[in-house]
Amino acid sequence: MTLLAVEGLNVTLATDAGPVAVVHDVGFTLDRRETLGIVGESGCGKTMTALALMGLLPEAARTAGRILFDGEDLLAADEARLCSLRGDRLAMIFQEPTTALNPVHTVGHQVAEVLMLHRDMAETAALAEARRLLDMVGLPRAAERLAAYPHQLSGGQRQRVMIAMALACKPDILVADEPTTALDVTVQAQILDLIGELVRELGMALVLITHDLGVVGQVTDRVAVMYAGRVVESGPTEAIFAKRAHPYTQGLFKARPSHAGQGRAAGTAARLATIPGLVPDPRSPPPGCAFAPRCPHAIEICRRPPPLVAIGESHDALCHRVGEWT
């Protein structure tokens, strides 16, 4: 059954230079225990989409559309309701574990705080539970580490603490925004495996945001490819890996690390090819298909807004030329 349904999500940021639309008409669904990957280059609106799910967009953001969580529209929910959901039923892990943890509080306290907030635990009980959680996420010497400060841990260990914090209340949905991007290549795979394992064990749904298609293939059931604030292709991971319908998805495939097929550990990021050009500035979007200026298959018609074309069972692409190139 559908746990989360995002419908026609738009996010606009008020800036000094006027409103800037950074997320356009994004829609996807997530079932219980399902894992969804959101993939795209930097600046495509992935983080803004994730923050919209959490109700944590910057103050300057205006939204339209619906985010139905268990039938309840989060975009229409009041702040008190969102506070009771965040950390309890919706949790998020951020890209930078170094800045995401508070430098002046112990890691034990930071994990225990969630439990005290949502589970009405007393501090000692919450700290005991925090110790168990830190054990669970594989933080070595967890009992001692309760009293450690974030600066005393390595990057990977900090991200483990973030994971423990996010999973403390066994949320229904975990949103992980590029959880391994800031980490050493050697620990990236460990952290990713840990997230995959725990999500399965605890029966959570996962929204995994990444710019690396290789990561998605290992962990997720479904994929949404984002470009310039829009979902340009979405479908079951297998279907997309078998047949990428959008030229941007194709470009991301070609740009995968060279050994991606042979397991992530070898992914020392020697890129085969990169997509030429840059993600468009959301302040001056190109007319029609936003990818057209970089697309090797673009023709005259691509200057007009592209249609959503069904490729297969719940597999769609936003492109004029689906099937016209190989």
Partner 1 sequence: MSAVIVRRLLAFLATLLATSIVVFVVLEVLPGDPAQVMLGVDAEPDAVARLREKLGLERPTTVRYFDWLLGFATGNLGESYTYSVPVLELIVERLAVTVPLALIAMLLTTIIALAAGVFAAAHHNRPGDWGVMLFAQLGIAMPNFWFGILLVLLFAVTLGWFNAGGFPGWEDDALASFQALLLPAVSLAIVQSAILARVTRSSVLDVLREDYVRTARAKGLSKRAALWRHGLRNALIPVVTVMGLQFAFLLSGTIIIENVFYLPGLGRLIFQSISQRDLVVVKDVVMLMVAKVVIINFVIDLLYVVIDPRLRTAR
Ligand X SMILES: Nc1ncnc2c1ncn2[C@@H]1O[C@H](COP(=O)(O)OP(=O)(O)O)[C@@H](O)[C@H]1O
Using CB under 6 A as the binding rule, whether residue 210 contacts ligand X is answered as no
Using CB under 6 A as the binding rule, whether residue 217 contacts ligand X is answered as no
User: If contact means CB under 5 to 8 A according to the sort of partner, which of ligand X, Mg ion, partner 1, none does residue 253 touch?
Assistant: none
Instruction: Give 52 or 134: the residue with its C-beta nearer to ligand X.
Output: 52
What burial class does residue 268 get, using C-beta atoms within 10 Å of its C-beta: 0-12 exposed, 13-18 middle, 19+ buried?
Answer: exposed
User: If contact means CB under 5 to 8 A according to the sort of partner, which of ligand X, Mg ion, partner 1, none does residue 15 touch?
Assistant: ligand X
Nearest approach, Cβ of 100 to partner 1 (angstroms)?
5
Instruction: Give 23 or 311: the residue with its C-beta nearer to Mg ion.
Output: 23
Instruction: Give 104 or 270: the residue with its C-beta nearer to partner 1.
Output: 104
Q: Do 221 and 236 contact (CB within 8 A), yes or no?
A: yes
State which residue has the least CB distance to Mg ion.
47
The interface with Mg ion within residues 86-125 (CB under 5 A) comprises none
Instruction: Give 57 or 146: the residue with its C-beta nearer to ligand X.
Output: 57
Using CB under 6 A as the binding rule, whether residue 40 contacts ligand X is answered as yes
Instruction: Give 14 or 272: the residue with its C-beta nearer to partner 1.
Output: 14
Query: Residue 271's beta-bridge partner residues?
Result: 257
Size of the chain, expressed as the number of residues it contains: 326
Assigned token pair, 117: 């907030």
Please, what is the Cα angle at 185 between 249 and 150, to 5 degrees? 115
Using CB under 5 A as the binding rule, whether residue 157 contacts Mg ion is answered as no
From residue 229 to residue 268, what is the string marking binding to ligand X with x (rule CB under 6 A)?
----------------------------------------
Using CB under 5 A as the binding rule, whether residue 35 contacts Mg ion is answered as no
Assigned token pair, 82: 């969102």
**HSE value, Cβ hemisphere, 13 Å, CA-based, for 40:** 27
From residue 57 to residue 96, what is the string marking binding to ligand X with x (rule CB under 6 A)?
-x--------------------------------------
Q: Which of 30, 37, 41, 47 binds Mg ion (CB under 5 A)?
A: 47
Nearest approach, Cβ of 94 to Mg ion (angstroms)?
9
In the complex, which residues of this chain contact partner 1 (CB under 8 A)?
54, 56, 79-80, 83-88, 91-92, 94, 96, 99-105, 113-114, 117-118, 149, 151-152, 162, 165-166
User: If contact means CB under 5 to 8 A according to the sort of partner, which of partner 1, Mg ion, ligand X, none does residue 314 touch?
Assistant: none
Using CB under 6 A as the binding rule, whether residue 43 contacts ligand X is answered as yes
Using CB under 6 A as the binding rule, whether residue 48 contacts ligand X is answered as yes
Query: Residue 205's beta-bridge partner residues?
Result: 173
Q: Which of 4, 44, 164, 165 binds ligand X (CB under 6 A)?
A: 44
Give the footprint of Mg ion on this chain (CB under 5 A): 47
